[in-house]
Amino acid sequence: MKVHYPPFMISIAVIFFGLFLTSNAESTWWENNTADPPNIIVIFADDLGYGDLGVFGHPSNKTPHLDRMAYEGQKWTNFYVAAPVCTPSRAGLLTGRLPIRSGMCSDKRRVLFPDSKGGLPQTEITIARALKGNGYQTAAVGKWHLGHQSPFLPTDHGFDSYFGIPYSNDMDKVETTDHFTLAETERYQAYNVPILRDKTEVERPADQRTITKRYTDEVVGKIKDLKDKGPFFIYLAHSLPHIPLFRSEEFKDTSVGGIYGDVIEEVDWSVGQILETLKEEGIAENTLVVFTSDNGPWHTFRTHGGTAGLLRGAKGGTFEGGMREPTIFWWPGKIQPAVVTDMGTTMDLMPTFCALSNTKLPDDRVYDGFDITPLLMGTGKGKRETVFYYRGAQVYAIRKGDYKAHFITQLEYGNPTAHPVTNPPIPLENGATILEEPLLYNVNIDPGERFNIAADHPQIIAEIREVLAQHKAGLVPVENQLEK
């Protein structure tokens, strides 16, 4: 017998079925997601400090796009990089491993230079190579600084394409005028840095006045070009606000924060362009975007550098300001909007991206990152318990939970003054000091590392010493790439 249901009953059934599908989709989004790998974009600023963004407390810089990105997504307030300077920090992000494991850190040369012969070894597996092996299209745009000759270039390391300045924008300096003065002149010709497309030099010296704009155009073009061909991974590493500072004509003298403020606001504009493109192209809800910076502000350049806000220290050093970075995760409809105070690091991106894309994380090596998907989705806790603060090839400090112990101290670039301690330090040749008794801070209660509480917590120091001993015992010596 054929049954005819009244229209209102059909409507109710459809609504209930829809609700069932919706709740089911929420409970099984993970399975759905792994079947539909997301696009991933990492935006990595250079030398942008913890306190440089409006949403991280800067009172003058206007960063509406990053602020909105944080409100729509997650603002991470305890997120670290692998090192307080460019080259090792980038090696850590792209490999998910501390740079000591790839030979990408050194006490003698802290970054790669134009005369360097080394670079990220082919034995390392970058995020790009891992995702490419799982069908991703990959593109690198901007600063590389992991070796500017083959086989160390982006297209040697899993990226389908590259466009950018292959090392720092202050290198290949051909004028004798000091950096500080040059920062006022915008004379880009003073730095004879190249721009490469893939492996071919297409411009020299790079006209850095338009570099942020051109990187942005490149990324926007890649998004439009790749979106219908499968999932993509785009790594945008801005050359700025690393000094020398440059901004395009549209941003000249438009901020109240001087040249540095103009530069930050152009980087913010760039983020806005990228997020807007994702929305216009209808792929925002299948794209994870991460924003962070490679190390703290460069205090050597005083007012030309940024600020670490309430954090102590800056670029080059292992106080918080050198390595804790303003970090935002954005993925509309997927990421639970929140302020996350759990610890995270750039080395967590590799295992997280692999998990999100159902890509197998290689099992033949040690990883220093953890999958932070449960924190992003609000479905569980993070696994990270420790953070290592390397300066060069040495562990200077370790954070375990709330507590951070400094075993060796040396302040940031441009600040030769020894850190005042209550116990007699042992001076080292490089100006650092090994502390007979470590300094201890509770960096949740005292993020500015102002009050040494070591005397009150000998047990915690003993526990952190044990973490250090175990870490050192697990390290395998490798060829150093920065000293070649």
Per CB under 5 A, residues contacting Mg ion are: 46-47, 86, 294-295
For Mg ion, the closer of residues 37 and 147 by Cβ is 147
Query: Are 387 and 80 in contact, with CB atoms under 8 Å apart?
Result: yes
Using CB atoms, what's the residue nearest to Mg ion? 86
Nearer to Mg ion, 110 or 132 (CB): 110
Quote the CA–CA distance of 312 and 112 in Å, as a whole number. Answer: 26
CB of 37 to Mg ion, least distance (A): 30
Count Cβ neighbours within 10 Å for each residue of 423-442 and write b for 16 or more, e otherwise: eebeeeeeebbebebbbbbb
Nearer to Mg ion, 89 or 394 (CB): 89
Q: Provide the minimum distance between the beta carbon of 111 and Mg ion in the complex, in angstroms, as a whole number.
A: 8
- Closer residue to Mg ion, CB minimum distance, 73 or 88: 88
Q: How far is it, in rounded angstroms, from Cα 36 to Cα 357?
A: 8
Distance (Å, rounded) from C-alpha 438 to C-alpha 466?
Answer: 13
Nearest residue (CB) to Mg ion, 73 versus 297? 297
Catalytic choice (86, 157, 354, 406): 86
Per the structure block, which two tokens stand in for 33? 């997601």
DSSP state of 334: T
Q: Is 340 helix (H, G, I), strand (E, B) or coil?
A: strand
Output the smallest distance, CB 433 to Mg ion, in A.
24
d(CA 349, CA 42): 9
Find the angle CA(148)-CA(152)-CA(156) to the nearest 5 degrees: 120
State how far the alpha carbon of 114 is from the alpha carbons of 89, 97, 169, 177, in Å. Answer: 18, 24, 11, 19
Is 86 a known active-site residue? yes
Radius of gyration of the chain from its Cα atoms, rounded to whole angstroms: 23
Q: Which of 58, 65, 105, 145 is catalytic?
A: 145
Which CB atom, from 63 or from 295, has the smaller least distance to Mg ion? 295
- Provide the minimum distance between the beta carbon of 25 and Mg ion in the complex, in angstroms, as a whole number: 41
CB of 391 to Mg ion, least distance (A): 14
Write down the least CB distance from residue 339 to Mg ion, Å. 25
Which residues are paired to 422 by β-bridges? none
Strands 161-164 and 195-197: antiparallel
Catalytic positions, written as ranges: 86, 145
